[in-house]
Amino acid sequence: MKQDIEVAPDDPSQLSPMNTREQALLVTYDFLKHMSTLAIVAVGGMLGLAQGIGAKLSGPILVSIALVAASAFFSLMFMAGVAATQIMQRVHKSSNGFALVTVLIVVMMFAAGVGAFLAGFQKALGH
């Protein structure tokens, strides 16, 4: 006959599934994913609102847009770091190099595209 044994931990936080490093990385990744999405939507909304009312993109408006865009950029960079950490900790390491290079290429392409857009945007503004 099998009997259940009740285990009482000394610290209730030991029961939390968030005590593992992997879970902490996943929660961090999810948070950064949501923040980058919100930031991208916010930048689009800020630019759309400014254009819709015909406002001149003054310094304070550009600074606020740049701050939100920077949060999206850094969220993406840290997401890449979390993904790279997860890739390098795989048990089956046969495809680690390819996956890590793929993450780095995606981040570099994104950064190049954003940089090209910002350069063109600044040129169009006449600065």
- Of 55, 58, 103, 105, which Cα lies nearest the Cα of 83? 103
Q: Among the residues of 5-58, which ranges form H helices?
A: 21-52
> pLDDT under 70 in the chain at which residues?
1-2, 4-19, 90-96, 127
pLDDT of residue 52: 83
Distance of CA 107 to the CA centre of its chain: 11
pLDDT of residue 46: 86
Which residues contact residue 56 at a Cβ distance below 8 angstroms, ignoring those fewer than 6 apart? none
pLDDT of residue 14: 59
Tokens of 59: 């310094």
pLDDT of residue 12: 59
The pTM score is: 0.60
Tokens of 102: 């793929």
pLDDT of residue 11: 64
- C-alpha 52/C-alpha 11 separation (Å) is 56
87: number of Cβ within 10 Å: 18
- The answer to whether 50 touches 90, Cβ cutoff 8 Å, is no
Could you read off the pLDDT of 91-124 as tens digits, one per residue?
566 666 777 787 778 878 887 887 787 777 778 7
